Structure 1
Amino acid sequence: MSEDYPPLVVRDVSLTLPSAAGPVEILRDLSFSVAPRERVAITGPSGSGKSSLIAVAAGLERPTSGTVELLGRALAKMDEDGRARLRRGRVSLVFQAFHLLPNMTAEENVAAPLEIAGIADADRVARDWLDRVGLSGRLRHYPHQLSGGEQQRVALARALAPRPALLFADEPTGNLDAVNAAMVADLLFGLVSEEGAAMVLVTHDAGLAARADRQVRLGGGVAQPA
């Protein structure tokens, strides 16, 4: 699902947050962009601002200074509702902690955002995607009835079913054992490529980062080519 414009452009972004000890600089004059279909891995030590970068880039957190263009739109010119409308169906997020709704089945977890995005036949699309991630036999299972690897596969199906132009993945294999991490990584890169989406991947896993087209390493809140 490529576009003529870069899915993400971050220019001179800084983020300073308050703390009991005083203001803390999280990101400083950070600039990078993501091309259509490009897969960029964000690496760096814990506390280097990787997750904060995703929050700013996805429009979930406003930067202290600098600009972010998401899908060709300047986020600073939009209110919270406008940013949510921009993301809906076109930007997806996958997290380390799965974030499935506990009172919904696997099928319902995948179908719900499709319905919100106004995608027709959401239940059928959800079933198709759960089949693609190898969970056609788990449609009626609730999150507590699924293993960690299965829950993350549901989360992947939920994120990619709307066919987003851009996927943010924050440590998607961080809570998984080696076998499930490898399975999820293969699905993640395979499905993102099949769907033609761009991806920003935050990871501590050097092997996972090496599968990206390009790496950006954060250190001291500054992006440096890896």
Structure 2
Amino acid sequence: MKTMTLKDSLIAVICATALVTSGCASTDQQNTENQGTAAGVVIGGLLGLALGDSKEATLLGATVGAVLGNMYGKHVADKKAEYKDTEAYMTAMIAESDKVIAASREQRETLQSSVTNQKQMIASYKQKSAEQQDLKKALSEQLEKNAKDLETTNELIAAIDREVGIQQRVLNEERAQLASVMIDKSEANITTMESEKRQLQLLKTQLASLDYRRVY
């Protein structure tokens, strides 16, 4: 018979703690918070075990994970509590993701136009040597705009990540209570947001890699 190692024992304790935590709830809000805590215990504990490979590191990781997981679960629970039922909550979440998608598409179009225009501008500038001061000013202003565009894009990518995470969690928890048309719409929005994120990341990379070094 194989003897359990310290690592096996710690993993078993982490999983048992998570199961007990996630099962102890009398309300939907408490259940959501506990699920967040349980997920944090498992993820934090396993991460601590992987990084520290010791009891202390595992317990520290589980503790930190429990706190962060509970905070996230409470955030989701508080959001759900603002609505009269799950369907109303899901409707609001879908509307919010629609806004994120619209903002992402608008920013993607902005980035695409900016990348195209700047490629043309760089090609034109490289053919000219006159009016260097005006050129430097224009390029400096463009670089400042690029920095702001990159900042906006990063914020949108983060917003997409948040919305995808929330909607996936709600779908997993409330799927049985939702109409199929609402489930389909939510899943479609998740797919669209993930696609928007990939395209924004690609355009962000292109924008950041534009080479002005030889323009002067």
Q: Same fold by TM (over 0.5)?
A: no
Structure with the greater alpha carbon radius of gyration: 2
Q: Select the structure that is richer in helix.
A: 2
> Which structure's residues are more often strand, by fraction?
1
TM-score (norm 1): 0.29
